[in-house]
Amino acid sequence: MHSSSPGGRRTENLQELVEEAPGEMLAVELDVTDRESVDRAVAAAVERFGRLDALVNNAGLMLAGMVVGANTDEWVRMVETNLLGSMFVAHAALPHLVETHGAFVQVSSTSGRIASAGAAVYSATKFGITAFAEAVRQEVTSRGVRVVVVEPGFVETELTDHTTDPVMRDAADQIGQSMRTLQPEDIADAIVFALTQPEHVSINELLVRPTDQVH
């Protein structure tokens, strides 16, 4: 049985996960934009299980919209969550991963490879976190830590529901209806594949698109 510690702001959802999933689990309240919250969550996991073998950084927020006429408060929220938040969690976890020769998995996006109109700031955060993860890889690979960047294409999640621009939400809905989208389990399987490779094998990048997705 594996032990894990999912973290997020909606603790009621996490508790459901704890009750359904096999193995020992610890749900921790976590706001990645709050450095003290991040430190507490990582410390709680290490205290409970005695070590940290892997981090999966998956927090993300997509508030799609054009740059012209944008509400720049939404830009701040995306930068704080997608970029700084992920960096804060990595900073807190990496000393423990160095101790265990563990793995750091950063979920980015195809938007971290190809920018598009309507997703300028979201893409900027994903380009940024991909770059951050690569720099971390160069820093810690000699210390036995494997760094994996996972870049999903269109996944059927609530991510697009965060968008406040009705035009952009409609566009996202139409894209989702036009293809056989990925499911969250598809990305989970890709992460497990990367984490279960032999210790001398480091899969540094996984680009996972729906077969039907062109860009």
* Active site positions, annotated: 122
CA distance 65 to 58: 22
Q: Please answer whether residues 90 and 136 qualify as being in contact, where contact means their C-beta atoms are separated by less than 8 angstroms.
A: yes
CA atoms within 13 A on the CB side of 210: 18
Number of H helices, E strands in the chain: 7, 8
- Signed CA dihedral, 2, 153, 28, 37: sign only: positive
Q: Please answer whether residues 35 and 52 qualify as being in contact, where contact means their C-beta atoms are separated by less than 8 angstroms.
A: no
Q: 149 to each of 62, 87, 90, 174, how far by Cα in Å?
A: 18, 13, 13, 28
Residue matched to tokens 């389990």: 185
CA distance 117 to 202: 34
Q: Please answer whether residues 150 and 106 qualify as being in contact, where contact means their C-beta atoms are separated by less than 8 angstroms.
A: yes
